[in-house]
């Protein structure tokens, strides 16, 4: 997987995020951030610090669209940092991660663990930073649950369709 | 020294992580404290343009209700024109119509972006209303677009008064339902009935006096409380907001300078 493909996918996913998923105002608790797909599926070839910089940039761009300066940035940096360690824990064969992270490289069980844990962590971080107080904790948890579910389904479906 | 370098190298990833997170949190803090840069928000030309295109398309689906709202407003204006006292001193107010190009209603910190900016004379701190009632306060101004903090943002505070006895309270929002806001600082000795009308107080230069805000839905006074817990049904339907008016008070600058001089 070369980087032009990664960037192309990022642009397409961001368009989908901004034009479709950001327009969803259903139920008041549904804000799926599907753009994390690009960060989650990025191959592990670069040093971790560069990965985190890429995460910071992607979060920053999302912040501009969401009027939430810094919130997505902080969450994406955390996502990129946690992702490296999580992959180390659930994948034995490091060689496979150099091409593409996905169903083929990880297998269904590891992929599910990887996506669910990181998406929930990212969404929880975004919503708690936006709420910035414990008084809305019930709302934040519900929002995380509903939104993560949709993001996870989207990412798993994307992987299933791309599986060759 | 060499050991220190070794440690720094060993934990370099963690240090980069901490540094980046600190930068992100500084951004969050800055954003909460001061007006955000118009470049890095939905007042940004490109981002706002994108939102405008979307609202352009979705606008067709609400033409009917928009028309009804405009017709109702026309009628109300005609009535007001008839009733207006010709001897009344002219108010230093000017209204600028703006279109809402982007809006959220189901977050805690909701914002709306309007297609008027500094070139139309919009200034931070001006009030925004529509035909139904008060909408919010201008927070960030770009050249062509501005961001408004609506009443349904947990950070918004608006001074309001009861029409029946001019008692003052502060309108806030609890982040739950975009149809209702809460009125604080109303002392227990006040008698509050459902149906009481709440309007802007005119105590700040943001809004002139008497712009409709809402009506009291219910009020609770618990044993031992010194303030009422009042739930206000807002006149403005934020879910269907398409057009708003920015209230430009020609004396606003003077009023603010006076207030600043006192501090």
Of the pLDDT bands very low, low, confident and very high (cuts 50, 70, 90), residue A164 is low
Contact criterion met (CB < 8 Å) for A56 and B23: yes
Say yes or no: domain B36-81+90-248 is CATH 2.40.10.340: yes
C-alpha to C-alpha distance for A74 and A78, rounded to whole angstroms: 6
In sequence order, what are the residues at sequence separation of 6 or more whose Cβ sits closer than 8 angstroms to the Cβ of residue B74? none
Contact criterion met (CB < 8 Å) for B20 and A59: no
Domain that holds residue A80: 3-162
Considering its fold, how many domains does chain A have in total? Answer: 1
Q: How far is CA B228 from CA A89, A95, B219, B235, in A?
A: 55, 65, 6, 21
* Mean pLDDT, rounded, of chain A: 86
Of the pLDDT bands very low, low, confident and very high (cuts 50, 70, 90), residue B88 is very low
pLDDT tens per residue across span B178-220: 889 999 888 888 888 888 899 998 887 788 888 889 999 888 8
pLDDT tens per residue across span A130-160: 887 777 788 889 889 999 999 999 999 998 8
pLDDT tens per residue across span B50-77: 777 777 777 777 777 777 777 777 767 7
Tell me which residue of A18, A12, A61 sits closest to A38, measured CA to CA: A12
- Please tell me if residue B56 touches chain A, with a CB cutoff of 8 Å: no
- Please tell me if residue A59 touches chain B, with a CB cutoff of 8 Å: yes
Mean pLDDT within A112-120: 93
All residues of chain A having their beta carbon less than 8 Å from the beta carbon of residue B108 are: 130-131, 136, 139
CB B38 within 8 A of CB B142: yes
Rounded to 10 degrees, the C-alpha dihedral B173/B177/B182/B188 comes to -140
Contact criterion met (CB < 8 Å) for B108 and A59: no
Mean pLDDT within B115-140: 88
ipTM comes to 0.83
Token readout for B199 is: 């309007």
Mean pLDDT within B141-163: 89
Q: What is the model's pLDDT at position A35?
A: 94
Closest-CA residue of A relative to B30 is A69
Tell me which residue of B62, B72, B130 sits closest to B96, measured CA to CA: B130
pLDDT tens per residue across span A20-65: 888 776 666 788 999 999 999 888 888 888 999 999 999 999 988 8
Domain ranges, ordered by start, for chain B = 36-81+90-248
């Amino acid at each position: 997987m070369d980087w032009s493909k990664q960037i192309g996918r990022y642009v397409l996913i961001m368009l989908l995020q901004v034009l479709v998923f950001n327009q969803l105002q259903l139920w008041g608790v549904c804000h799926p951030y599907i753009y994390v797909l690009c960060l989650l599926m990025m191959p592990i070839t670069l040093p971790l610090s560069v990965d985190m910089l890429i995460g910071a940039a992607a979060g920053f761009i999302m912040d501009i669209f969401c009027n939430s300066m810094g919130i997505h940035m902080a969450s994406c940096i955390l996502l990129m940092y946690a992702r490296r360690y999580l992959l180390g824990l659930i994948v034995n064969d490091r060689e496979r991660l150099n091409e593409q992270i996905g169903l083929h490289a990880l297998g269904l069980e590891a992929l599910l663990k990887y996506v669910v844990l990181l998406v929930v962590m990212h969404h929880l971080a975004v919503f708690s930073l936006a709420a910035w107080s414990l008084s809305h904790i019930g709302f934040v948890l519900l929002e995380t649950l509903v939104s993560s579910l949709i993001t996870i389904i989207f990412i798993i479906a994307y992987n299933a369709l791309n599986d060759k | 020294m060499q050991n220190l370098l070794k440690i720094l190298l060993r934990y370099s990833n963690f240090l980069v992580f901490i540094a980046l997170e600190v930068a992100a949190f500084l951004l969050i803090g800055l954003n909460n404290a001061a007006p955000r840069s118009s470049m890095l928000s939905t007042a940004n030309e490109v981002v706002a343009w994108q939102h405008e295109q979307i609202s352009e398309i979705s606008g067709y689906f609400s033409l009917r209700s928009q028309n009804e709202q405009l017709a109702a407003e026309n009628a109300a204006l005609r009535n007001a024109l008839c009733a207006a006292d010709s001897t009344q001193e002219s108010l230093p107010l000017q209204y600028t119509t703006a279109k809402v190009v982007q809006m959220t209603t189901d977050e805690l910190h909701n914002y709306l972006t309007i297609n008027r900016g500094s070139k139309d004379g919009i200034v931070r701190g001006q009030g925004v209303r529509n035909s139904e009632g008060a909408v919010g306060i201008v927070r960030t101004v770009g050249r062509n677009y501005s961001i408004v903090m609506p009443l349904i943002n947990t950070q918004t505070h608006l001074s309001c008064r009861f029409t029946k006895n001019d008692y003052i309270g502060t309108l806030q929002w609890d982040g739950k339902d975009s149809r209702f806001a809460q009125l604080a600082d109303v002392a227990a000795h006040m008698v509050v009935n459902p149906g009481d009308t709440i309007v802007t107080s005119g105590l700040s230069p943001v809004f002139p006096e008497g712009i409709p805000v809402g009506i009291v839905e219910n009020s609770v006074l618990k044993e031992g409380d010194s303030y009422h817990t009042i739930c206000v049904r807002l006149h403005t339907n934020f879910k269907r907001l398409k057009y708003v008016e920015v209230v430009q008070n020609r004396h606003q600058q003077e009023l603010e300078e006076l207030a600043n001089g006192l501090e």
